[in-house]
Structure 1
């Protein structure tokens, strides 16, 4: 049963052509939707062409399954296709609590900040809750807003938890 043909071509050749087609199609519609199965079909087609004894439908099916699972694992685990994405924001609500620093003096009406792990472009227009925040001052985002302008407040290196712990220590020392 090594002579299985589809459309007058060997099964291995058809798998190879479909695999290459899916890999090329992935270039036009990126997102790892077609690349995994494309790679699996491409490898199965190559194995079938270069190892004729393995060109049976069952062997090729197992190759497609094995290579497909392997390709899926590599793309998911190592995040090769889409980059790591670690530390990048998914939407504006992810900016709440992010820290950064002032690059252009921030007032209640204008300013600019740079956020740590703030996405592709970590520079944002900013407004302060009250008062003026000078350049190079550390800030925290209190309201992401939903656009590219965030509301920030100055931080002195401590966060709310540190301030609360200090307050509790002062109260216990006073008692």
Structure 2
């Protein structure tokens, strides 16, 4: 009885499977097919180039070793966003985040795109307590609302602290202009 699978065919099959998984990763980024795809691809390639390493036990060890090395590289270099910036750990991470209005935001509907830290899909439904916000308006998330619908406020909106800072600035400007006028009055004309 002939064997079902020729031993010389195993490296080629691993090579093809690895190639297929890497293509799937290109079609669906973030699906983590790349790790096992590279492991199978490289093990199959080594098995085809160096036939003594093409045996089933050697191939299994190579797939495991290369897979672990690939996983380490994949996690260490974080190819999909740079050290966790492509994901949020909770809706609280969105509090204070800056966003841009992509569909007019009203008190009942709208959509924003979170600029940084918005996760894999940075587009969120949003509503405003400060009137209608047109497309392109820069906003800040005031209440993440569980991450489903964000409450946002325009960044150019003046709050209590901003008003107090403005008043203090204006008071200092008045005081300095009064002092400079007072200094000019002390000088006698020639």
> For 1:84, what is the secondary structure of its paired residue?
coil
Give structure 2 stretches of 5+ with no counterpart: 166-190
Count of aligned pairs: 152
In 2, Cα distance between the equivalents of 1:41 and 1:64? 6
Q: 2:9 aligns with which of 9, 13, 36?
A: 13
Residue 108 (structure 1) shift: 4.5
The residue that corresponds to 2:52 in the other structure is: 53
In 2, Cα distance between the equivalents of 1:41 and 1:104? 45
Q: TM-score, normalised by structure 2?
A: 0.52
Seen in structure 2, the aligned counterparts of structure 1 residues 139 and 90 have a Cα distance that, compared at 3 Å, is same
The residue that corresponds to 1:141 in the other structure is: 141
In 2, Cα distance between the equivalents of 1:110 and 1:59? 59
Task: Compare CA radii of gyration and give the structure with the larger one.
Answer: 2
Residue 157 (structure 1) shift: 9.5
> For 1:97, what is the secondary structure of its paired residue?
coil
In 2, Cα distance between the equivalents of 1:148 and 1:52? 55
> For 2:78, what is the secondary structure of its paired residue?
coil
The residue that corresponds to 1:169 in the other structure is: none
Residue 98 (structure 1) shift: 1.5
The residue that corresponds to 2:32 in the other structure is: 32
> For 2:145, what is the secondary structure of its paired residue?
coil
In 2, Cα distance between the equivalents of 1:50 and 1:107? 63
In proportion to residue count, which structure has more helix?
A: 2
Seen in structure 2, the aligned counterparts of structure 1 residues 91 and 145 have a Cα distance that, compared at 3 Å, is farther
In 1, Cα distance between the equivalents of 2:102 and 2:51? 65
The residue that corresponds to 1:62 in the other structure is: 61
Q: TM-score, normalised by structure 1?
A: 0.56
Spell out, residue by residue over 1:43-97, the C-alpha distance to the aligned partner (whole angstroms, 9 max, x if none): 22322222123334554343223211122122222233xx217444548713222
Residue 17 (structure 1) shift: 0.9
